[in-house]
Amino acid sequence: MKTKNSAHLKNAVLGFAVGDALGVPFEFKARDTFKAADMVGYGTHNQPAGTWSDDSSMLLATLESLIECKKIDYDDIMQRFIRWVDNGDYCPYGECFDIGHTTLTAVGRFKNGYDPVRCGGRGFGDNGNGSLMRILPIAFFEHTVDDILNLSSLTHAHEISLMSCRLFVQLAENLMSGMTKEEAIQNLKCCVDECENIPKIASFPREKIRSTGYVVDTFEAAVWCLMTTGSYRECVLEAVNLGDDTDTVAAVAGALAGIYYGIGSEKGVPEEWINKLAKLDWINGLIDKGITAQ
C-alpha cells in the first residue's frame, strides 16, 4: 500500500511524539500549578526528558502495521498492541507505563477471541482519547470513512469517539492539502452535536477549554491551541500548560502544528526537541520506511 501525503509524514509523526514527550512530566497536573517552557524529564511518571508515552507507542505500532502489512489489517494491529502491553514493544525503555482503561479492556477482549473491530468499548464512558491518539497514521494511506471508524473501534466504538477520529483525520488532511488553518477548520463536516464547538473554538476564552481525557475535550483543546498560537513551539507549550491530559492534548496539537509549520526554522518543530526523543533513530527509520512504502 503506497503512502500518500508522505511529504508530511515526518512532520506529523515527530510533531506528535515531541508534543507527547513535552507533556509526559506534567500529566494529570492541574492547570496553572506549573509552567512548562522546555522539554524536561521526571515529574508525573518519573521518566527522563524525551520519553514519549502510550500515545506515541500506539501511533507507531499502527504506522508500522500499515507499512509492513501493506493494508489495514486489524488483527495485526491488535497483535502489536498486545506486544506493547505485555512485552513493552513500541515503548521508549521496554516497559508500558501509561495505558487507558478502555484500551486495556479492548486488548483483553481481543485476547479472548473477539473480532478486532468488535473489541472497542461502546458506552458513553468509553469516550476517552485512546483512539484519537493513535488514529493519525491512516491519513497517510488510502482509506475510506469506514476504515477510520473501524480503526477507532478496535478500542473505542462509541459514536462520539468515531466522529472525533473522523474529524481529526479530516482536519489533518485539510492542512496537508495546503489550506490555511482557518480554512481547514471551516471545511470540517461535523456530524454529531458534541463536535459542534470545533469550527468556532478559536473564539473561546482559555477558561472555557477543558483539557481532560474525554475525547471531545482533548480534540477541542488541541484545535484551540493550533488556532490561537503562531508557531509549533507556542502551540504545544500552550497545550501542556492547559494541564490535566497534557501529553495527549500536546501530541494531537503537535501533529497538527507539525503538519502546518513543518520542522525547524522559526516556526516549525524545534530540532533540539526532536533530538531529545527516546529511540529517535528507530522512529526515523520507521518514518523513512513509510515515505518509501510502495
Interacting residue ranges for Mg ion, rule: CB under 5 A: 53-55, 98, 247
> In the complex with Mg ion, which residue's Cβ is closer, 98 or 220?
98
Minimum distance between the CB of residue 226 and Mg ion, rounded to whole angstroms?
Answer: 19
Of 36 and 176, which has the nearer Cβ to Mg ion?
36
96 exposure class (CB count in 10 Å sphere: 0-12, 13-18, 19+): middle
Provide the minimum distance between the beta carbon of 215 and Mg ion in the complex, in angstroms, as a whole number: 14
HEC readout, the chain: CCECCHHHHHHHHHHHHHHHHHHHHHCCCCCCCCCCCCCCCCHHHCCCCCCCCHHHHHHHHHHHHHHHHCCCCHHHHHHHHHHHHHHCCCCCCCCCCCCCHHHHHHHHHHHCCCCHHHCCECCHHHCECCCHHHCHHHHHECCCHHHHHHHHHCCECCHHHHHHHHHHHHHHHHHHCCCCHHHHHHCCCCCCHHHCCHHHHHHCCHHHCCCCCEHHHHHHHHHHHHHCCCCHHHHHHHHHHCCCCHHHHHHHHHHHHHHHHCECCCCCECHHHHCCCCCHHHHHHHHHHHHHCC
Find the shortest distance in angstroms from Cβ 211 to Mg ion.
13
Residue with the closest Cβ to Mg ion?
53
Closest CA to 93 of 148, 147, 24: 24
Closer to Mg ion by CB, 152 or 174: give it: 152
For Mg ion, which is the closer residue by CB, 141 or 273?
Answer: 273
Give, rounded to a whole angstrom, the gap between the first and last alpha carbons of the chain: 6
Min separation Cβ 11 and Mg ion, Å: 21
State which residue, 53 or 152, has the beta carbon closest to Mg ion.
53
The distance of closest approach from Cβ of residue 187 to Mg ion in the complex, given in angstroms and rounded to an integer, is 29
**Cβ nearer to Mg ion, comparing 98 with 194:** 98
In the bound complex, what is the minimum distance in angstroms from residue 193's beta carbon to Mg ion?
A: 28
Strand partners for 141: 3
**CB 20, min distance to Mg ion, A:** 6
Q: Which is nearer to Mg ion, 53 or 102 (CB)?
A: 53
